[in-house]
Amino acid sequence: MNRSARVKIYAKDVVEALALVRRAAPHSAVTVADGVLTVICSRDDAEALQRVCARRGLNAEPLSPNFVKTLAKRAGVLAAAAVVVAGLTASQLFVTGADIMGADAASEARIRAVLVERGLSGYALKSGIDTDEIARAIEREVDGIALVEAFFDGDKLVISAVPVAHMPTETEKSEALVSDSYAVVTRVAVFDGTAAVKPGDVVKPGDVLIEGKINVGTLDEPQWAATGADGKVYARVYASRRLLFSPMYTEESPTGRTHTVVEVSVGGKKVWGANADHGFERYTSHTETKRLRGILPIEIVRTVYRETTVKTLDTDEAYILAAIAEAREELMSGTDGVVLSEGVNRGEYGGYEFAEIYIETERQICRGEELR
What is the rounded distance in angstroms from the CA atom of residue 250 to the CA atom of residue 126? 71
Q: Are 21 and 60 in contact (CB under 8 A)?
A: no
One domain for residues 162 and 181: no
Rounded to 10°, the helix 14-24/43-56 angle is 140
Count the domains in the chain: 4
Examine residue 333 and state whether it is found in any structural domain, yes or no.
no
- Is beta strand 230-245 parallel, antiparallel or unpaired with respect to 338-349? unpaired
For every one of its 372 residues, what pLDDT tens digit does the chain have, with 9 covering 90 and above? 446 778 888 877 777 777 778 777 777 777 777 778 888 887 878 888 888 888 777 888 887 554 444 444 445 544 444 443 333 455 577 888 888 888 888 888 899 999 988 888 778 888 888 888 888 889 889 888 877 888 888 888 888 887 877 654 444 567 889 998 889 999 888 888 899 999 999 999 999 999 988 887 788 888 888 888 888 899 998 888 888 877 665 678 888 899 888 888 887 787 777 667 778 888 898 888 888 776 778 888 888 989 998 876 666 777 788 888 888 887 777 666 778 888 888 888 776 788 888 888 888 888 876 543
One domain for residues 17 and 35: yes
The CATH number given to whatever domain includes residue 12 is: 3.30.70.600
One domain for residues 73 and 160: yes
3-class secondary structure per residue, 240-297: EEEEEECCEEEEEEEEEEEEEEEEEEECCEEEEECCCCCCCCCEEEEEEEEEECCCCC
Domain span holding position 46: 4-63
Give this prediction's pTM: 0.37
What is the rounded distance in angstroms from the CA atom of residue 207 to the CA atom of residue 185? 12
One domain for residues 162 and 142: yes
The CATH number given to whatever domain includes residue 150 is: 3.10.20.310
One domain for residues 219 and 154: no
One domain for residues 230 and 274: no
What is the rounded distance in angstroms from the CA atom of residue 340 to the CA atom of residue 358? 11
What is the rounded distance in angstroms from the CA atom of residue 226 to the CA atom of residue 214? 7
